[in-house]
């Protein structure tokens, strides 16, 4: 009988999540039923949407976690250990809702079997080619933002997973790219590793002034992962006919009952601009093309995503805290 170690929600966070809000528990997993597989979880994707599920809210886009029951929700990659399904064999790598745990039993129909290669290992389906990262960046930057040759493109939270890919996709499309991140180290990362033309350090203050200096003719596309004051600074620097793409608003996730909207939204009509929000699942019909495009750019060396991998299921709570406080660069993963 397989022993599973999982992280559950001990109490709902009051504002910023703390390690003490979570608890590690152990359990024995049951025997497999027909069409089920036992998976060893190899990597978990540490994503901002997890934070939105920790509050008791009926209107949460991704649902709400129950306290003290199931493992905290997380997408992940698992390896088949045992199978009672004709669709999956021992050793197959699969993608699905693994949860914050070391092992899981799922019906085979809930999982996607992955094709692995040296250039695109299984964990890439959580990162550069993953739904919550690479595909999200593609849907927002190329499908919604419609970046064109010569556009000035600004990306917030640019040193994070989605932001890092969004910056590179804008460069591939011919844009001049400016990333916003916190601290000199992350700004150096954006310019030297991600390929941004310029970087704005929001921790240095006066983001509006920094953007004005770097975008004298205005911003053509703003890809926002942050919201709040950063969004207002970008709105104040829009060019005529600019496109603002709302991907996320991590500055707001710790207090979703009191979300602060943009004060300068009137810049949208004043500049004949547009603002669009999106969820990646609404672009599902295009996933095969998007994945093929991304795979091609990876193989050509045009696209990469540095990874930061934390070790041990015990450290899942610390990884969530690290995500919410900006303590990482690139894609944050956890290997249970």
What is the spatial distance between Cα 201 and Cα 179, in angstroms, rounded to a whole number? 9
Query: In the chain, how many H helices and how many E strands?
Result: 9, 15
Instruction: Provide the pLDDT for residue 112.
Output: 97
Sheet harboring 219-224: ordered strands across?
Answer: 198-201, 176-181, 152-155, 219-224, 238-246, 274-277
pLDDT given for residue 333 in this prediction = 98
The pLDDT value recorded for residue 239 is 98
The answer to whether the beta carbons of residues 164 and 193 sit under 8 Å apart is: no
Residues paired with 178 in a beta bridge: 154, 198
Element (H, E) at 170: helix 161-172
CA 51 to mean position of chain CA atoms: 12
The structural domains of the chain, with segments of one domain joined by +, span: 3-127+306-335, 134-281
pLDDT at 259: 87
Q: What class is the 3-127+306-335 domain?
A: alpha beta
* b/e per residue 53-87 (b: at least 16 CB within 10 A): bbbeeeeeeeebbeeeeebbbbbbbbbbeebbbee
Are 321 and 310 within 8 A, CB to CB?
A: no
Separation of CA 288 from chain center? 19
The DSSP secondary structure of 203-242, one letter per residue, reads GGS-HHHHHHHH-TT-EEEEEESS-HHHHHHHHTTEEEEE
* DSSP E strand stretches across 65-197: 76-83, 93-96, 103-107, 112-113, 152-155, 176-181
186 to 159, 190, 221, 250: CA distances (angstroms): 6, 6, 21, 17
Within 10 angstroms of residue 93's Cβ, the number of other Cβ atoms is 21
Top-tier CATH class for 134-281:
alpha beta
- In sequence order, the β-bridge partners of residue 274 are 243
Task: Report the candidate in 106, 89, 109 with the shortest Cα–Cα distance to residue 98.
Answer: 106
| Each residue's pLDDT expressed in tens, for the chain with a length of 336 residues | 899 999 999 999 999 999 999 999 999 999 999 999 999 999 999 999 999 999 877 666 778 889 998 999 999 999 999 999 999 999 999 999 999 999 999 999 999 999 999 889 999 999 999 999 999 999 999 999 999 999 999 999 999 999 999 999 999 999 999 999 999 999 999 999 999 999 999 999 999 999 999 999 999 999 999 999 999 999 999 999 999 999 999 888 888 788 888 999 999 999 999 999 999 999 999 999 999 999 999 999 999 989 999 999 999 999 999 999 988 999 999 999
């Amino acid at each position: 009988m397989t022993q599973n170690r999982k992280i559950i929600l001990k109490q709902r966070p009051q504002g910023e999540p703390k390690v003490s809000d979570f608890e590690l528990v152990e359990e024995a997993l049951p025997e497999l039923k027909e069409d089920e597989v036992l998976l060893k979880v190899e990597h978990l994707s540490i994503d901002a949407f997890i934070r939105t599920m920790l509050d008791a809210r009926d209107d949460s886009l991704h649902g709400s976690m129950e306290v003290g029951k199931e493992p905290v929700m997380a997408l992940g990659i698992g390896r088949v250990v045992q199978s009672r399904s004709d669709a999956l064999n021992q050793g197959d790598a699969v993608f699905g809702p693994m949860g914050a745990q070391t092992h899981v039993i799922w019906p085979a129909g809930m999982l996607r079997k992955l094709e692995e290669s040296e250039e695109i290992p299984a964990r890439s389906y959580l990162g550069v080619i993953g739904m919550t990262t690479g595909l999200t960046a593609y849907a927002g930057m190329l499908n919604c933002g419609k970046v064109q040759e010569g556009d000035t493109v600004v990306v917030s939270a640019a040193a994070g997973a989605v932001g890092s890919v969004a910056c590179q996709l804008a460069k591939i499309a011919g844009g001049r790219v400016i990333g916003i991140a916190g601290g000199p180290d992350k700004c150096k990362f954006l310019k030297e590793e991600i390929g941004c033309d310029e970087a704005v350090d929001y921790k240095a203050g006066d983001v509006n002034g920094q953007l004005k200096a770097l975008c004298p003719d205005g911003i053509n596309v703003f890809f926002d992962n942050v919201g709040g004051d950063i969004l207002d600074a970008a709105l104040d620097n829009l060019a005529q006919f600019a496109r603002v793409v709302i991907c996320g608003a991590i500055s707001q996730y710790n207090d979703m009952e009191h979300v602060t909207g943009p004060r300068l939204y009137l810049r949208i009509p004043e500049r004949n601009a547009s603002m669009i929000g999106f969820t990646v699942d609404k672009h599902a019909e295009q996933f095969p093309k998007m994945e093929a495009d991304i795979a091609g750019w990876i193989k050509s060396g045009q696209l990469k995503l540095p990874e930061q991998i934390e070790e041990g299921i015990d450290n899942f709570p610390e990884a969530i805290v690290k995500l919410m406080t900006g303590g990482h660069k690139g894609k944050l993963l956890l290997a249970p």
